Amino acid sequence: MSLLSIQDLKVSFRMGRHNGEIQRTQAVKGISFDVPENTTVALVGESGSGKSVTAMSILNLLPDNAEREGRIEFQGRDLLRASLRDLQAIRGREIACVFQDPMSSLNPVFSVAEQIMEPLVKHLGMGRRQALARAEELLNEVGIPEPKRRLSAYPHELSGGQQQRVMIAVALACSPKLLIADEPTTALDVTIQRQVMDLLARLKESHRMSLLFISHDLGVVGEVADHVVVMRHGQVREQAPVAAIFGNPQDDYTKALLACRPSIDAQNNPARLMVIDDHIAGRAAQQTGKAKDPNAPVVLEAKGLKKSFFFKAGLFGRREFPAVRGVDFQLRKGHTLGIVGESGSGKTTTGLTLLRLHEPTGGQVLFEGRDLLTMNGAEWQKMRRRIQIVFQNPYASLNPRFTIGQTLLEPMEIHGIGANTAERAARASELLKKVGLDDSALHKYPHEFSGGQRQRVAIARCLTLQPEVLVLDEAVSALDVSVQAQVLNLLKDLQDEFGLSYVFISHDLAVVRFIADEVLVMQNGAVVEQNETRSLLAAPQQDYTRRLLGAVPRGYQPA
């Protein structure tokens, strides 16, 4: 029996008037699917496919300019025609939501206890004492350590995984019949992702509820879903049981999505990943790339690199937190060093310390034999153009008030690259072509581009300075699998063309296997294992590395 039935749903957004007529953009174009009782249904597709809009339509959590048509039946009631009062009674009580970013979903000025207690008081009429006791039980159920102590904590005092667990506790407070989970594991490292996936599966069974799971990661979907609905451009391209989707996909787009993802298990990844258009056009994967020189010169070397943060302790004392504990590595010209580990392992701090965005507390960073950490301001300013960084979030790293042209011209003007503005503009235009964008982008602003396009702009900005080393800090972790494949292919092409060396920081071991020549595994600020990529992933020596590998989603596995 269907708990939720969506029939011919259409969703449009009013975009203002043009020549006296209201302009509309259709995001969902007549889709239909069911969510049976005690079942997990996954909505998958790229950004812009309409999957989140579909899910948010169920409880009408869309902006005011949205228009919905069709039917959304929940236990026989048409939610599309329900009054606001009826919807408010259902929200959180019978249908609850868990969103991708818990920090934007949790209220920063309310304690954990207050946020879990709110639906208990509102929907179940509990008193504060009873609600507080139930909140502690829920924190314990979702695996928060020391739940009683955490009740008084605020969101910023918790890790990303703990914040997501609190969101799940809030959603489960009233024992809903349907839980909508919108990309709940996308920003988490593999071990925390595994914990959240296992938690959702266990809670689904214990609470006898249905789960509508939204994701672009088919590896995750294959492990949690019973039934899969594949969406593209607001339409359903294919829907079937999970075994059929992974074992015998019928639609070319589904096949392409499955082919885009690099594999952690493959003996040999292709030289380039196939993107959606490649697969649909029937183009074969490129199997061989430019060979790496094992004796290439070392361009960057870290020796005993350390970074500590200090906090006040008592009236006059201070407490040291060692975030990076004596890291050593060598990076050769044209090679990629992958740095992996859980959140809090020190991998990002290592990358930022290499560029002195965090000042180190010990060790050396040698660039062509010169110690970057002892350079004075003028020397370091000249050196900075040779080592650049690409951050995880292109939405935050690009200035929203600058056009793309201004973004690309500014670093060239600061470092005196190019004889005049016209020469710099020509170089900016050439670099945009390199990263797959055209001249029209020069006059646009960041908000006019997708996440993948913004990341391409961020890479182009780095290349304006003709660097020799790029530090890539989770540069593809928030991208769809198809866009991720495009950016990874771009990075390989640029490395082949310019001989760039990369420090590639990631929690995604499948991506690291594809792009890195050597892997450095970090835990609690220290290097626990280091080896050539294929050897390390095939035969890890440390339990910690084996645990990281064991947590990687591998998609649907037949019994």
pLDDT score of 146? 87
Q: Pairing relation of β-strands 77-78 and 66-74? A: antiparallel
Q: Look up the CATH number of the domain holding residue 427.
A: 3.40.50.300
Does 42 map to a domain? no
Beta-carbon contacts of 526 under 8 Å, excluding residues fewer than 6 positions away, are 325, 326, 327, 346
**Residue 468 is assigned to a structural domain of this protein:** yes
Question: Pick from 173, 204, 227: which residue ends a domain?
Answer: 173
Beta strand ranges found along 157-281 (DSSP E): 178-182, 210-215, 227-232, 235-241
Q: Could you tell me if residue 46 is inside a domain?
A: no
Burial of 312-331, coded b for 16+ CB within 10 Å and e otherwise, reads: eeeeeeeeeebbbbebebeb
**pLDDT per position as a tens digit, 525-537:** 999 999 999 899 9
Residue 272 belongs to some domain of the structure: no
pLDDT at 194: 84
Which pLDDT belongs to residue 266? 63
Query: Can you give the pLDDT at residue 304?
Result: 95
User: What pLDDT is recorded for position 267?
Assistant: 63
Question: What pLDDT was estimated at residue 262?
Answer: 82
The stretches in the chain having pLDDT less than 70 are 187, 266-268, 285, 287-288, 478, 559
Residue 48 falls within a domain, yes or no?
Answer: no
Whether residue 25 lies inside any domain: the answer is no
Range of the domain at 497: 335-358+375-550
Quick check: is 242 in a domain? no
Burial of residue 129 (CB within 10 Å: 0-12, 13-18, 19+) is exposed
User: Which one of 153, 173, 193 terminates a domain?
Assistant: 173
Q: Are 554 and 266 in contact (CB under 8 A)?
A: no
Count up the domains in the chain and report the number. Answer: 2
Per-residue pLDDT at 33: 97
Question: pLDDT tens for residues 246-273?
Answer: 999 999 899 888 888 787 876 667 788 8
Of 173, 193, 216, the position where a domain reaches its end is 173
Q: Which two tokens stand for residue 538?
A: 């095939």
In a domain, 2, yes or no: no
